Structure 1
């Protein structure tokens, strides 16, 4: 238990003050964590973790002993309470920083951006550190009157920066002993790789987001031939509800209702059929809607079905597309296998569909 014999008297008083205010620090930790978590959620930010700790008494005593005479009171130490927000992407560090700046009072003179402290020869990097206070407008509790005067540290870094920091610590890179040059070089290379990975992950995400916005713009402007068929583009395309018109015509046969179901799974079927762009789907709809309607009418004839699935139009469009190109039961079965997984039931469904389609006019020229 500190203090020990010979421990400086001023530092002994600081330790005593630490013990007296420990409950206030515990309360402050919970307040800060809750405020950050709530704000991150309300701002739709997705992070890796929020970590928080109160400096242990032994750790504080060791610091006071090493830096005897530097601190006059506990309030001079800004890292008794430390909070770390770990993000996935480097650009999110700045978003978190902006949020922290709005929430808390920032001691700018003692805050530091360690990301900017490295020269051209250094690969290492660290986090953004803000020294903060909780303003009374944000939180106030008469039971803890000193809570709003206590400074604490918020560190913001990426997950890879955090990995580097842990590696630094565990390898003793900054522990004060001389690291052999061969190991130091490898550590620097590793840091450079992590830094590059951080940058590339951020650049890739930015590129993907830009692509999605471009796809959305092209889809909603009707430039379907310019949009490659993939998960993002198909999802945007389905928002236009391109199969509703045909489904409504089919439903009208029996005055049925259309039961909505997800069509996202049909992407793999369309890719299996060789479609490359959204324009290929549009072409299929234009060329095959009437025949798909006739096939559905034949299927529903002499039935009293009053509910149809919203996938029926697309299923029949795909079937007509296959049959018009000379496909038969085997091709229909493969399509159903692609959609539902391989099953003997798919073969029977394909045979049934083919037998009905054979009686329709478009089959007379199919494959020609």
Structure 2
């Protein structure tokens, strides 16, 4: 973009000097922007805070000139402006804003007198602007460049807001108070209603996430204590149950047949199998393991007889358990095939494998009872 002369902006000599100072210092602001964003990204990652985005910008020259013109006489030097450099951190949830704010407070020197928590204003039309604004400086212990010592004196702004607040402010910026004309009351009323709805959605997302986290902690506690009958069978609970490694003892017994190694693989696919069995709690799985452990071992032992396999898959024991369960329920090749399809997906090899399992099982005592 072609640089304008100061006269083209219509600024007073005092504001024109501030603009000249901005032009000279712009490379320093650009360097500071990269440093600040880098520090924030690294620290947010280290603290395992999951955010939507980090944005940043150095104020454009025409934007600064417009501000100086609108607020003529307010600023004595470039250092009086705290928003030349701005960084915005967008969180997924509104209750994560305070977590990020605490982190920013540890990373930078905060000018509390000029920092603003717009969330406390509670204005009717304020949802999209309910962000937290910190005016910061970069401490030397975090970063110092002897070629640019002024970087540690520059004040910059860090805004923190939720994703919904950010989306609203972007949309409202185009239709609302900065659009260049007065918004008719009927549209303003609808904008205010939408702002209220989005604020409610923001709050509900936080409540739902909090409820889900509480539920997960409760499930983890029940699983850890062995209260399996109290835990509904679903993806979360099954994942927690697998962390107890309930199939390890069977797999180790099977591996010992050939002194084989066990190749670990995900067992999460068995959730669909257990659901197809009609299991509704973790207790159903746990009882199935205890009832069928010895018979599943015998089935696997017959299958491995005469082979020299030195590596077995960790799913082998679970497959044997499920096959024994199907057979004890009176199932045959058809039911074994359905079980394998729930585990492997539809394939022509499932029937062949089911026939092999059924044939081997005829030699086991539980099939002769």
TM-score, scaled relative to structure 1: 0.95
**Counterparts in 2 of 1:255 and 1:25: CA distance versus 1, 3 Å:** closer
Q: Which runs of 4+ in 1 moved over 4 A?
A: none
Q: 1:125-146 CA deviation, whole Å, 9 max, x = no partner?
A: 4211000111112111111121
Q: What is the CA–CA distance in structure 2 between the aligned matches of 1:257 and 1:34, rounded to whole Å?
A: 45
CA distance in 1, matches of 2:307, 2:31: 69
Quote the residue 2:105 is aligned against: 101
| Partner of residue 75 from structure 2, selected from 57, 71, 75 | 71
Are residues 1:41 and 2:23 paired?
no
- 2:7 is aligned, of 4, 7, 10, to 4
Per the alignment, residue 114 of structure 1 pairs with: 118
RMSD after superposition: 1.5
Residues 1:269 and 2:248 aligned together: no
Structure 2 residues not aligned, in runs of 5+: none
Residue in structure 1 matching 2:127, options 124, 127, 130: 124
Structure 1 residue 165 corresponds to structure 2 residue 169 = yes
User: Which of 325, 330, 353 pairs up with 1:349?
Assistant: 353
Per the alignment, residue 305 of structure 2 pairs with: 301
Distance 1:196-1:241 versus aligned 2 partners, 3 A rule: same
User: How far apart are the structure 2 equivalents of 1:255 and 1:52?
Assistant: 59
Partner of 1:287: 291
Shift of 1:7: 2.4
Distance across 1 between alignment mates of 2:368 and 2:126 = 71
What corresponds to 1:260 in structure 2? Answer: 264
Counterpart of 1:360? 364
CA–CA separation in structure 2 for the residues paired with 1:66 and 1:102: 35
2:250 corresponding residue in structure 1: 246
Q: Deviations over 1:165-201 (max 9, x none)?
A: 0111111334463211221121112112211121111
Q: How many pairs are equivalent?
A: 364
Residues 58, 84 of structure 2: 8 Å contact kept? yes
Shift of 1:307: 2.4
- For 2:23 and 2:152, locate their aligned partners in 1 and report how far apart those are by CA, in whole Å: 18
Partners of 1:145 and 1:260 in 2: how far apart? 55
CA–CA distance in structure 1, aligned partners of residues 180 and 348 of structure 2: 70
> How is 1:144-223 mapped onto 2 (pairs within 5 angstroms)?
144-175=148-179, 177-223=181-227
Distance 2:140 2:257 in 1: 68
